[in-house]
Amino acid sequence: MLRGKVAWITGAGSGIGSAGAGALAEAGATVVLSGRRPGQLEAVAAAIAAAGGRAEIAPLDVADNQAVARVGAEIFERHGRVDILVNSAGINLPTRFWKTLTPESFAEIVGINLNGALYCIHAVLPSMRARKDGLVINVSSWAGRFETYMTGPAYNASKHAMAALTHSLNDEECVNGIRACVIYPGEVATPILKNRPKPPSSEEISRMLQPEDLGRTIRFVAEMPPRVCINEILISPTWNRFFVGGADIARG
């Protein structure tokens, strides 16, 4: 159980972030929900409260380093700690392939997926070091473990870099009691699917991982004792379209 723990979740308004927040709250943690859409955060917080959990919102664009530092300081002022950081904020764009990618769109994707995770880690590290305890969970992607065509170079680069960020954190900060886990999900039925050049069918979506599957995974990592570091988790649907293919992910 996580009673007495404080968890900060980015990308918490929907998808994996929302499910992770719900699972951590169910385990007893107080969850702080960050994302760019206050209305969605409020809905998630209300659902958590209705289930008996404790949640509060902290609207945030993780690509804004100063805003991240401010929100991190406000959480510390209210709670005196962040025990668990879940970096789940992430985007992709329809114009994702080399033939349509621009430097501006590349920077936008990397700014949220990678830099945003870095900013949040930087905000919580000092207090974790001081307590000699802390957990960082970085939500990467199957595209951060293997090369995939469908997700495009900017997303792939940012998600591969999240893995490197995680492993370097364990390398340097294990002596301070800090542990980090990178999760590489295969296809998950989340709103980001709408940003694909050709969204998958409802039948295909039903076969994918569901957000609650990742919520359970995040809770599993968080409930491990401090002596345990789960360095990485690779998780996919049984019907793995990166193996079997699909009409909407074919090269073209």
pLDDT digits over 104-158, tens only?
A: 999 999 999 999 999 999 999 999 999 999 999 999 999 999 989 999 999 999 9
Q: Is 220 exposed, middle or buried (0-12, 13-18, 19+ CB in 10 A)?
A: middle
Report the helix count and the strand count for the chain, using DSSP H and E: 9, 7
252 pLDDT above the threshold of 80 = no
**pLDDT of res. 247:** 82
Backbone CA torsion sign across 165, 168, 173, 177 = positive
Q: Given phi > 0 = left and psi -120 to 50 = alpha, else beta, which region is 233?
A: beta
Confidence label for 250 from pLDDT (cuts 50, 70 and 90):
confident
Backbone CA torsion sign across 213, 215, 217, 219 = negative
Closest CA to 106 of 116, 114, 96: 96
Distance, C-alpha 116 to centroid of its chain: 10
CA distance 221 to 223: 6
- In CATH terms, the fold of domain 6-249 is Rossmann fold (3.40.50)
Average pLDDT for the chain = 96
* Mean per-residue pLDDT, 165-184: 98
Q: Which of 119, 149, 155, 184 is catalytic?
A: 155
**pLDDT of res. 196:** 83
For residue 119, indicate whether it is catalytic: no
> What are the residue ranges spanned by the domains of the chain?
6-249
